[in-house]
Amino acid sequence: MIDTLSTEMSDAVILTNEANSEDQAASQELTSMISGIVQQCSNKIFQMIREKITNFLATSSLSPKISKLLNGLVRAILKGNPEETLKYLLPHTCERIENILNHSETTILTDHKGDRELTWCLILFSELVRARGDTLVIYKPMILSVFHRCVHIIHKESYEAVANAAKNLLKSLSYVYPIEYRLTVENIEEPFTDFLPIRAWGQHVEFDKLQVQFHIPNEEEVNFACEFVETFIYPELQLLNETCSKMSNEERLRSLTLIRFIAIGCFRMVPRVDSEEVSDLVPSVVSFDTKHRPKYMLYAKQPQFRENLRIRLLNDIGKLLDVLVENHSDDASSIKIALKIYSLTSIYFGVFEQDIDELYKDFQIIKYLYKNKLFGKRKHPRFVIIKRIEVQLELLSISNFPSLTDIDRQVILKLFELSIHRYSEVRCNAQVDLFYILRCYLFSYQVIIDHILELLDNSDGANHDQIKGCLYILLGNDLVFIPAQYSWTLLEKLWPSLTRTMHATKTSTQELLDCIMDKLCKQFDTPAIIEDINDKSVKAAIELWRPLETNELISRDQMREARNQANIQSYNNLMETLNSLFYNHPL
C-alpha cells in the first residue's frame, strides 16, 4: 500500500500540488493503519515497514501534498521503534540540511521565498524530534547544530518548522508520557510455540497487570532541555529588547514565533511565579488555594534555569507590547503572537485545552472501535486503557489552576487595557486571551469590572473605541458572559450602567448592546437572594475537608448573614433603579 500510494501521489503531483479529500482520507487511513501495526508487530515486520517508508522519503517529490502523508508515517514509526527510526532518518536529514546550507547562496537565510528542499527537510526534522527523549540525547550535537544554522531563517514556513521542532524537542525531553501501547506485555519475538500473539489480541487486562511503561525524564534529558532553552531564548529576547524598532515585521515575527514555541515546550518545567494571592474577590472562610496542593517530582533532577522564565517573559514581552502598539500598530501578526506569549505566563502549565480535546476524541473513537460487548463495561484491551491513562494525566495538568495572584491580576489588567485599544485588530486579539484567562480563574472578572463601569458611566471621558471594547468584553464568548454572573452586587452596578449608557450613537454600538440583551435573556438564571445550606451539605463538607473550629463557625455565620443582607439590598436597589430609569429616563 505504501509503494502504491507513493507512486500514485508522486505522479499526481505533476497535475496538482494540493491534496484533495480522497488523498487526505487515504493518507489518514494509511497512517492510522501503519501506526497500529508498528506498535504491535515484531522487529522483522517493523524493519520492512521502516524500509518502505525510508524508500518513499528518498524518492518522493518536495510537494506539500506528500509531505503531510510522510510526516504521518514518520510519526507512526517513531512511536513503534524510535531508536531504529532515528538511526536511519535523523543523521541523513541533518546532513541533508547542512549540505543545502553549505552549497547554497549566502542569501538563503534572508530570502523570503525560501528554499523548497530546505523547508521540506526542516518539516521532516521537526517530526523526527518528537521521538522519545532518551533516544534524542544521543544526537544532541547534531540537533543543536541544525538549530544554530537555521534559527535565523526568515522564510515563514521554514522558521515555523524550526519553531515547531523546538517545541517538539522540549516536550519529548521533559514530559511524562506512555512509551508503548502493545496489546500484551508478553515478548512477541519469542517462537510461536512459546507464545502466539493473536491469542492476546482483544483481551482485557486488569489494571494491576497493565505494566505501563512511561517516559520519565532523566538527568541528561533535563540538562539538554535547560541548555537548549537558555541557548536560544535569551538571544531572541535580547534582540527584541535592543533592536525591536529597527527590525522588519518578518524578522520580528520570526523571533516572537520561536520564543512562543520554546515557552510552550518548556513551561511544564518552569514553576509558577511566587506572588501574593488576591484575597478580596469573594469573602470565604475557606481559602481558594491550599498549601497542601500535591507536588510530585517528575524529573531525575530539578530543572535549573538562570531565572524564572515566566517573570522574564512577563516583563520583556509586556514592554515589547507597549512598543509595538505605540509604534508598530500595523504589525498585527507580531502583536498577536506577543499577546499569546504574555498570557502563557499566567495560564499555561504544559498543555492546552484543545490538545486534551483531541486526545479525548481519539480515545473515544478507539474505545468505540475496540468495544467488546461480550465482556461488558470497563473491559477494554490494554492499549485502550493506556490511552485513557494518558488523557487523565493531561487532565490533571490543566485542571490544577490555583487561586488568582497579583501577577495574574497584572496580566488581566494588561490584556484589558489592550482589549479597549483604538485599533480593532489589537482589541480582537487581546480579547481572545482575556476571555481564556477569565475562565481559568474563579471570580477574576472582578479585577476589570470597576474599570468597565467607570468607562460606561463616563460619557465625556471615554471614546467610542473604549466603549466598543468594553461592550465586546461584556458580550464575551460561549464560555464567558459577565452580565449573567451569580452576583447581585455585580448586577446592581452593571445592569443600570448598560441601561443608561449614552454612547449608543453609532449603529455598531447599538447592535452590540442588543446582542448583550439578547444573550442575557437566553442565559440569565436568577441567582438566589437568600443563600443557605442544610445539615447534609455541612456533613459532606466535613467529610471532604475537616470540621470547622468554633471561631470559624461564628465567622461563617457572620459572612453568610452579611452576604444575604447585601443580596437583599442589592436586589432592592437594582429593581428601584431599573424602574426609575424606565419611567424617568429617556432610554
Would you state the pLDDT for residue 14? 41
Amino acid found at 344: L
Q: Is residue 203 a contact partner of residue 223, using CB atoms and an 8 Å limit? A: no
Indicate the SS3 state at residue 121: helix
Would you state the pLDDT for residue 56? 82
Would you state the pLDDT for residue 288? 62
List C-alpha distances in Å: 406 to 138, 280, 410, 414: 43, 12, 6, 12
The angle that helices 21-38 and 2-12 make with each other, rounded to 10 degrees, is 150
Q: How far apart are CA 422 and CA 482, in angstroms?
A: 22
Question: Residue 204 has what DSSP assignment?
Answer: B
pLDDT by residue, tens only, the chain of 587 residues = 666 655 555 544 444 445 566 667 777 788 888 888 888 888 888 899 899 888 888 776 666 667 788 888 899 999 889 999 999 999 999 999 999 998 877 678 888 888 888 999 999 999 999 999 999 999 999 999 999 999 999 999 999 999 999 999 999 999 999 998 888 877 777 777 777 777 777 778 888 888 899 999 999 999 999 999 999 999 999 999 998 888 999 999 999 999 999 999 999 999 888 888 887 777 776 666 655 555 555 666 678 888 899 999 999 999 999 999 988 888 899 999 999 999 999 989 888 888 999 999 989 988 888 877 776 677 888 888 999 999 988 888 776 666 888 999 999 999 999 999 988 889 999 999 999 999 988 889 999 999 999 998 886 667 888 889 999 999 999 989 999 998 899 999 999 998 887 666 678 888 899 999 999 999 998 888 888 888 888 888 888 877 878 887 788 888 888 889 999 999 999 999 999 888 876 55
If you search the block for the grid coordinates 512577563, which residue do you land on?
314
If you search the block for the grid coordinates 531525575, which residue do you land on?
300
Would you state the pLDDT for residue 13? 47
Would you state the pLDDT for residue 4? 62
Tens of pLDDT, residue by residue over 476-503, are 999 899 999 988 999 999 999 988 876 6
Would you state the pLDDT for residue 471? 93
Q: How far apart are CA 583 and CA 74, in angstroms?
A: 71
Provide Rg for the chain, Cα atoms. 28
* Residue-range domain boundaries for the chain: 359-398, 406-523, 535-584
Would you state the pLDDT for residue 142? 96
Cell of 184: 500484551
Would you state the pLDDT for residue 165? 97
Would you state the pLDDT for residue 138? 95
Q: How many residues does the structure list for the chain?
A: 587
Q: How far apart are CA 466 and CA 426, in angstroms?
A: 12
341 phi, psi to nearest 5 deg: -65, -45
Would you state the pLDDT for residue 367? 86
Output the CA torsion 125→130→131→134 (10° steps).
110
Q: Is residue 86 a contact partner of residue 80, using CB atoms and an 8 Å limit? A: no
* Long-range Cβ pairs for the range 457-466 (8 Å, 24+): 457/497, 459/501, 459/502, 459/503, 462/503, 463/422, 464/503, 464/506, 464/509, 465/420, 465/421, 465/422, 465/424, 465/427, 466/420
Q: How far apart are CA 480 and CA 439, in angstroms?
A: 6
List C-alpha distances in Å: 490 to 404, 449, 486, 536, 567: 19, 8, 8, 30, 10
List C-alpha distances in Å: 247 to 312, 328, 331: 21, 11, 11
Cα 71 from chain centroid (whole Å): 22
